[in-house]
Amino acid sequence: MNDSTESKDLTLEQIHNFKGAYPKQLWSLFMVEMWERFCFYGMRGVLAIFMVDQLLLSDKDSNLKYGAIQAFVYAFTFIGGIFADKILGFKKSLTFGAIMMILGNLLIAANPHDFFYFGIALTIIGTGFFKPNISSMVGSLYAEDDPRRDAGFGLFYSGINVGALLGGIVCVWLGKGHSWNLAFLAAAVVMVIGLLMFLFVKKQMGPIGDSPLLHLAPSKKLWREIAVYAGALVSIPLIFIMISNTQYTDIFMAVIGPLALIYFFIQLTKYDLKAKKQLIAALILIFFSILFFAIFEQAGGSLALFANSNLKHDILSVPLDPNMVNNSANSLFVIVFAPLLGILWVAMAKKKIEPNTVIKFGLGFLVLALAYYIFYSLRFFADAQGMTSLEIFAIAYFVVTLSELCLSPIGLSMITKLSPKNLAGMMMGLWFLASAYGQYLAGLIGASMSTTDESASLTTKLLSYTDGYLQLAFYALGAGVLLILVSPFIKKLMQGVK
Ligand code: GLN
C-alpha cells in the first residue's frame, strides 16, 4: 500500500466542496459500514443463544458473558482509535480491523465449539480497529464549519441500521434454523464483501485516512506498523483470558476508563486553549452519553425479557412475535427517520434555527424520558393476567428511536467537529468507550429490575419492570433538564462549533 500515490488523485478541498446534501464518498462509507454492522450484529444476535446451546452456559452466565463481550468490543475502540491516529491512519486500521473480523468469524464457523473464544477475541480487536475509524472518516469528508455534517452522520447511521437489521435476521435465522457454523460463516462472508468494497472505494477518499507517518522513511514506518499488528496479535491470549472469566471484566472496566481519562488529560496538555476547551466540551458530552446508553441499551436485556414474558402477540390483531418487534423496530425506525431528520436539520440550518449540538443532546434525553414513561405506562394497558399491549410497546420504540437520533449520530458528528485532526481516532474511541460503560451499566440496571423470584406472577413481573422504567424516565428527564440548563456553558467551551 503506497499512501502517497493514493492521495494524488483527489485533494481534501475537492472532497469538501461537494454539491448537494451529501458527499458521494458518504455513500461508499455507508455501504462498507453496512456490511461491517451486518457482520457485527449478526454475530451479536446469535451470541447469547449460542453460548447456552453450544457452550452449555446457564442463562445467567450467558447473559453475563454477553455483557462482557459487548463491553470489550466497544472498549477496544479506544485502543484502535489511538493506533490509527499515531501510526496506521484510518485506511490501514479499517483494512486490518476487517481482516481480523473475517478471521474471527471464520474460526468460529470452522469449529464453533473449540474456537469460540479465539474467534471472539479476534472480533473484538477487529471492531476496535474498524468501528471508530470509519466514523472519523465520515467526519473528514466535511469542511470544518459545513452545516451538512449532522445530516451526513444521520444518513450514515441509517446504513448502520440496515446492516444491523439484516445481520440480526439472517444470522439468527441461519443459526437457529440451520447451523451455528453457517451463521458465523455468513458474518465472515459479508465482512469480506465490506472489505473488498472498501479497498475498491478507498481511492475516492483522497488523502483522508492516510498514514500520519508519511514523513518518515518507509522502512521506519513499516516497522511501526508491523509492531502494531504484532501487538494486536499478542494481546489475543490476554483478551481470551479476560472474556472466558467474567470476573476479569469488572477489573478491566474499572481500569480502562481511568486509564483512558489519564491518557486524555496528558494529550490535552499538548494543545492550545481553544482546542483544550473544545476537547473538554466533548468529554462532558461523552460522560452524558454513558447514561444515555445505559438506559437505551435496556433493549438487549430487560426489554427483551419483558417482551418475552409480558407482551401480547399481535399488533392491531395481526399476529407478531414481541421479541421480533423488540429486536427490529428500532433499526426499522432509524432507517426511515434518520434521513428525514437529517433533511430537517439542513432545512433548519438554512433558516438559522437549527438547535445546536448540546440542545440536541438535551432533547435526546427529554425524548428518551418520554419513551421510558410510555414503557412505564404499559402497566395501565395490561389485562388481568399481566399481559400488555404490543402496539404501545412499538410506539415507545418509535419514541426511543427519535431520542437516539438526537444523540447518537449527533455525538459522532460532534466528536469529529471538536477533535483536532491527530486526536480524532482517540476521541471517537472515547465516545465508544462511553458506550461500553453504558452497555455495562445497562446490564447491571437490567438485572436489578428483574424479579429474583422465577415463579413470580406475570403481574408482579409487569410491575417490577415498569417501576424500573419509570425510574429510568426520571433519570433521563433529569439529565435532559441539566444539559439544557448548562448548555450556554458547554456552548462557550465549544468555541463557535455548533
Ligand atoms: N447502534 C449504533 C452502532 O451500532 C451505536 C452504537 C453505540 O454507540 N453503542 O453503531
CA of 214 to the centre of ligand 1 (A): 32
Residue 391: inside a domain, yes or no? Answer: yes
CA of 221 to the centre of ligand 1 (A): 32
pTM of the full predicted structure?
0.91
Q: How many angstroms separate the alpha carbon of residue 208 from the centre of ligand 1?
A: 23
* 178 in a structural domain: yes
The yes-or-no verdict on residue 2 having pLDDT over 70 is no
Q: Is residue 11 situated within a structural domain?
A: no
Give residue ranges with CB within 6 A of ligand 1.
Answer: 37, 160, 293, 408, 432, 435
Q: Rounded to an integer, what distance in angstroms lies between the CA atom of residue 103 and that of residue 95?
A: 12
The answer, yes or no, to whether residue 321 has pLDDT greater than 90, is: no
State the pLDDT confidence band at 1, using cuts at 50, 70 and 90: very low
The DSSP annotation for 27-53 comes to HHHHHHHHHHHHHHHHHHHHHHHHHHH
Q: Is 72 within a domain? A: yes
**DSSP symbols for 456-467:** --HHHHHHHHHH
Instruction: Give the lowest-confidence range in 28-42, 322-336, 424-438.
Output: 322-336
Q: Give the pLDDT score at 8.
A: 55
Q: How far apart are CA 383 and CA 373, in angstroms?
A: 19
- Amino acid identity, residue 406? C
439 CA closest ligand 1 atom index: 9
Q: CA-CA distance, 444 to 440, in Å (whole number)? A: 7
Residue 398 has pLDDT above 50, yes or no: yes
The amino acid sitting at 130 is F
Ligand 1 atom closest to the Cα of residue 37 is: 4
Mean per-residue pLDDT, 49-64: 79
The answer to whether 150 touches 356, Cβ cutoff 8 Å, is no
Nearest to 235 by CA among 424, 116, 76, 349: 76
Residue 15 belongs to a domain: no
CATH number of the domain enclosing 208: 1.20.1250.20
The answer to whether the beta carbons of residues 65 and 191 sit under 8 Å apart is: no
On the question of pLDDT at 378 being above 70, the answer is yes
Length, in residues, of the chain = 498
Of the residues 165, 333, 435, 441, which should be mutated to test ligand 1's pocket, given the most ligand atoms within 8 Å of the CB?
Answer: 435
The 10s digit of each residue's pLDDT in 94-119 is: 999 999 999 999 999 999 888 998 99
Give the chain's end-to-end CA distance (angstroms, integer). 37
The domain of 28 spans: 22-493
Confidence class for position 342, pLDDT limits 50, 70, 90:
confident
Ligand 1 atom with the shortest distance to the CA of 41 = 4
Q: Given this model, what pLDDT does residue 418 score?
A: 96
Ligand 1 midpoint to CA 58 (Å)? 27
pLDDT digits (tens, 9 = 90+) for 63-97: 778 888 888 899 999 999 999 999 999 999 999 99
- Among residues 10, 443, 340, the alpha carbon closest in space to that of 207 is found at 10
**Does 14 map to a domain?**
no
Number of domains in the chain: 1
- In a domain, residue 3? The reply is no
Tell me the three cell numbers of residue 269. Answer: 496538555
Quote the mean pLDDT of the chain.
91
Longest dimension (CA), the chain: 75
Close Cβ partners of 152 (under 8 Å, ≥ 6 residues apart): 22, 23, 26, 138, 141, 142, 342, 413
Identify the band that residue 451 occupies on the pLDDT scale cut at 50, 70 and 90.
low
The neighbouring-strand residues paired with 319 are: 314
The predicted-structure confidence for 243-298, as pLDDT tens digits, reads as follows 888 788 889 889 999 999 999 999 999 999 999 999 999 999 999 999 999 999 88
The pLDDT assigned to 62 comes to: 77
Say if CB 129 and CB 83 are below 8 A apart. yes
Mutate to test the pocket of ligand 1, among 29, 44, 74, 160 (most ligand atoms within 8 A of CB): 160
Which residue, judged by its Cα, is nearest atom 3 of ligand 1?
160
Grid cell 415498569 in the structure block, residue: 466
Rounded mean pLDDT, 15-21 = 90
